[in-house]
Structure 1
Amino acid sequence: MKKIIGLVICFFTFLNLGNAQDLRITPNGRYFENSEGEPFFWLGDTAWELFHRLNQEEAKLYLQTRAKQGFTVIQAVILAERDGVKTPNANGNLPFHNLDPTQPNEAYFAHVDFIIEEANRLGLTMGILPTWGDKIFSANPGAGPLIFDSVNAKTYGRFLGERYRNSDLVWILGGDRMVANEEVAQIWDAMAKGLEEGDENRHLTTFHPRGFSSSSDALDNPEWLDFNMYQSGHEKKFLEVYRFARKDLALRPQKPTVDGEPAYEDIPVKFWKYMTFKSGEFADKVDEKGNIRDQSVFPEGFFTGYDVRVLAYWDMLAGVAGYTYGNNAVWQMHMEGEVFVIPTLTDWKGALERPGAESMKYFRRFFEEINFTKIISNQNLILSENPENEDQIRAAIASDGSYVIVYLAKPREVKLDLTEMTGDKLQGIWYNPRNGKKTAIKKLKPSSSLSLQPPTSGPEEDWVLLIQDKDQIKD
């Protein structure tokens, strides 16, 4: 485990700073902080094909947009899913000579260098997957090819660790796969060991598993696993993501957990049920730009910005250390006129400012205006009927009782028990997660039964309720 350093409670502005973070885990084992002891809010984006598909100017556009929107982590894969070992990158370079992980191609990695340096310059931490999981044996084969064993995996890991020792990043092993057997586990262990040797144990490491599972399901808590990551996935709207957080946070020793791949904005719900992944299967259902024209082939619809926002707040109030947004066109860096991997609604550039992505700035801003490292999930605060469906209300209280947060995916009256809060003077606001605007609530007092109604009740008009001990609010 990386050294855990003391927590300095600090409130910082909504601003990306171009300095290295050197992330560490807070003493309570649940969140991240930087080298200055400041809480680090993980707001990620899945840009899996960033290194492979974009040239320098395109990468700069992408990174600048995400930095402006308030993202803090960019998750990308060096050996990408879309035939990333045998299909050259945007500059025409392959990652290895002779498909050999011990023979890296300097031209390919110079491009990776550029993107990491540009991201760090913009204040973005890179979440780097050394390889997608299909380059190692699994029960779910992909483009591959299978190129790793426990010897060359360690060599490759050491190469990456040494090369990016001074970069602002975390390592993410796995790549949408579970661990098939002990031999595969040894390969991942060897790669992790190589990374640690190469970067002198400077960076945190986790594992990105298959959908609807966590790294805690894929691995038996290896020494190198500094925090857990789950992929709640793309199965349904209003997925109970808080169950993953609850399971991971109950494990001991306690580690932070992150939803590293929830439902993507603009991806078809349960897409695998309605497609074969065969070449040309949607040829008669796309428009001239290569996007899906006939959306009826996916009868459960597409995830919207509202859908991904619901998951973000449900995750955060369950006590996760971070949330990773994603867009279907962006992860695959789908370009106008080409064939998609999973049917898209727009190209990657057109997807950058979709409503869900834009709302993430307000998501981050809300939690950075309080000390989010105090969040303790507490459903007992809710006295209203609270079914586990789209009407689910999520609630959390600060560990010292200084605030209560309630999230209503569907606006309705909520009845709360506030007797666990501190102070005799309370201040409340309704926070609009769609635009960041606040509506003050007057005359609040600690109560065993307080009923409140959000300002509006239209479709997809979710609301966040924040009630604070007035004496503990800092300017």
Structure 2
Amino acid sequence: MKRINSSLSAITAGFLLMLCCDTSAPAADNAVEQWTRFEDSLTSTKDYGNPVQDVKVKVEFTSPNGDKRTVLAFWDEGMRWRVRFSPDRLGGWTYKTSCSDKANKGLHNQTGLFQCRKYQGDLSLFRHGELRLSDSRRYIEHTDGTPFFFLSDTVWCGPLLSDIDDWNVFLKDRVAKEFTAIQFVMTQWRMAKTDAEGNLTFTGKERVAVNPAFFQRLDRYVDAINNSGLVAVPVLLWAIRGNDNPGYFLPEDQKIALAEYMIARYGAHQVIWFLGGDGKYSGEGGNTWHRVGRAVFHKDQHRLATMHPGGKSWVGREFRNEPWFSFVGYQSGHGDDEKTFRWLNQGPPATEWNNKPNLPVINIEPNYEAHNGYTHRKVHNDHSVRRAAYWSLLVSPPAGVTYGGQGIWGWHTKVQAPADHISTGLGSPWHVAKDLPGAFSMKYLHQFFKSIEWWELVPAPELLAQQPGRKDASKFIAAARSKAGDLAVAYLPEGGSVTLKTESLRKGLAARWYHPRTGGWLDAGKIEKSPQTFKTADRNDWILLVKEK
């Protein structure tokens, strides 16, 4: 079995330095760093008409302590197949292939070995290890126990439509703005019928045939996300009604075939999977997705997965007990009316987060900035973006939130309305839209949560002596506190005052106002009595933080 990087020892030292941050392949001495990607190639002895349908290749990896994990290899054009794997233990690994066509000597019974070494780079994504659920199952953490704050940007069309140089500029900007993840669609869909080079993801319906050229191009974009220290969050099968969306028009077995291929190809990257995108997942439709999820996800993959539902739909009840379903993702959507606000701050995200079994709850599509509101047709600004984000983070135990900006999610190169979404309004080119005010607000949001032990917070509406959101949902104050009573947070969307019932908080805790538009702080005194009122400096949105100095 030939290693694909066996020629690296002959490459100049200068080029090796250029590759130092690449996490996509092992070094020439048959070693790979922990949590990065081992890759090997296989050469088939047979030419199949439709390899994805005609043959399956499993690869069993055995760790230094004897644990076994099995993943699928994937076809990569012609007679070439590849296998990718992310090792989680230091030391010597071995692997062996098993092909459904046992007569294929190039794919069946092939063996190899490699060494897994400690990661030596600076990216926290790899220093702390792959992602998993915390012991409390309320938030995501790294393998070493470091909490991971999910702060994702929505770039649905970015990898499909962007130039690779532009893509790297964009990712550098998102790192600077302290995002931790990038959401995108991994196949052709209603917004991008092909990639920028005219490649289809696949052809056919009853028996899909994948196009390796599409994925060979996409490899560089997914690699770039991880090499920037960001988690890749792809939608595998966009599922809204329409024959351009594979999650809608493909039959169940072909949904499985296509998703299996993508998971085999990118499952060794640091990813969180969205199995379906924007679909309806209740009733028999939900049962279909249950079966698809069970078919394509399994424990050996070590990756989190959820569903991306349509607007104001809650899939916690339908999917919470699925073995592959890692957290409740929901879309509060782009409405600008009382009903939408109330659904978010007093509906399922606020009332069903405590259902069992425990799972993180994350708003993976709140209103996009510079996008028209659905009811009043007013453009969502940075304030409405912050309001939805902070509500989302405090009405359920905080685990993360997603941002979206018009011009970014559709990857505009000029001022235009997104294809097939004319009513959402005009968006700026991506290189302008990347600096919308709300994107900077996300940086300050992350800085605020990094300053506290956010994973200790649980919703605490009982802290409030009055809740203005009962009469007007747009004025809803979201409050949370730690069970120990040494930390409390309240978000005021329109400033003014908030009165806290402080009996559950420790006396003498310091209070400060956080300015979510600039990241600045103002002193607000300390906890002295109950109830106690705190007033903002103006009528803009503010965050009250109560904790020890």
Is 1:346 matched up with 2:447? no
Give the CA deviation at 1:335. 2.4
User: Could you tell me which residue of structure 1 aligns to residue 269 of structure 2?
Assistant: 167
Aligned equivalent of 1:267: 371
**Letter aligned with residue 210 of structure 1:** G
Spell out, residue by residue over 1:451-471, the C-alpha distance to the aligned partner (whole angstroms, 9 max, x if none): 1111x214xx2111111134x
Q: Paired residue for 2:547?
A: 468
Structure 1 match to 2:451: 369
The answer for unaligned runs of 5 or more in structure 2 is 1-121
**Contact 1:132–1:175 (8 Å) recurs in 2:** yes
2:257 equivalent to 1:155: yes
User: What SS does structure 1 have at the residue aligned with 2:491?
Assistant: strand
Q: Secondary structure at the match of 2:183?
A: strand
Q: Separation in 2 of the partners of 1:381 and 1:427? A: 16
**Matches for 1:15-414 after TM superposition, within 5 Å:** 17=124, 19=126, 21-82=129-190, 84=192, 87-98=193-204, 102-134=208-240, 140-141=241-242, 143-144=244-245, 147-179=249-281, 181-182=283-284, 184-185=285-286, 187-197=288-298, 200-216=300-316, 219=319, 221-236=321-336, 239-240=341-342, 241-242=344-345, 243-270=347-374, 300-318=377-395, 319-336=397-414, 340-341=418-419, 342=421, 343-388=425-470, 389-414=473-498
User: Structure 2 length as normaliser, TM-score?
Assistant: 0.71
Higher RCO (CA-CA < 8 Å; seq separation 6+)? 1
TM-score (norm 1): 0.81
Match of 1:432 in 2: 515
Change (3 A) 1:216 1:141: farther
1:18 shift after superposition: 5.1
Considering fraction of residues, name the structure with more strand: 2
Does the 8 A contact of 2:281 with 2:315 survive in 1?
no
**Kept after mapping to 1: 8 A contact 2:205/2:251:** no
Q: Do the aligned partners of residues 324 and 16 (structure 1) sit closer, same or farther apart at CA in structure 2, a change above 3 Å counting? A: farther
Q: Distance in 2 between matches of 1:203 and 1:107?
A: 25
Query: Counterparts of 2:328 and 2:320 in 1: how far apart (Å)?
Result: 11
Q: Tell me the residue number matched to 1:416.
A: 500
The answer to whether the 8 A contact 1:170-1:203 is kept is: yes
- In the alignment, the residues of structure 2 paired with residue 266 and residue 30 of structure 1 have an alpha-carbon distance, to the nearest angstrom, of 31
* Aligned residue in 1 for 2:21: none
Measure how far apart 1:384 and its partner are: 3.4
Classify the secondary structure of the residue corresponding to 2:136: coil
Q: Distance in 1 between matches of 2:212 and 2:244?
A: 23
8 A contact 2:368–2:380 mirrored in 1: yes
Higher Rg of the two aligned structures: 2
Code of the residue aligned with 1:469 in structure 2: it is E
Contact 1:18 1:121 survives alignment (8 Å): no
State the one-letter code of the partner of 2:538: S
SS for the counterpart of 1:232 is coil
Q: Distance in 2 between matches of 1:129 and 1:344?
A: 24
8 Å Cα contact 2:406-2:428 kept in structure 1: no
Task: Deviation per CA, 1:188-208: give whole Å up to 9, x if none.
Answer: 3444234325x8331011001
Query: Residues 114 and 420 from structure 1, CA distance in 2 versus in 1: closer, same or farther, beyond 3 angstroms?
Result: same
Whole-angstrom CA distance in 2 between matches of 1:65 and 1:237: 32
Q: Which residue of 1 aligns with 2:111?
A: none
Q: CA deviation at 1:255?
A: 0.8
After superposition, the CA RMSD in angstroms is 2.4
Whole-Å Cα distance in 2 between the matches of residues 101 and 18 of structure 1? 37
Cα deviation 1:46-98 (Å, max 9, x = unaligned)? 111122211212221222211111111111111243354xx321122111245
Identity of aligned residues (%): 27
For the 8 Å contact 2:398–2:458, the answer to whether it is kept is no
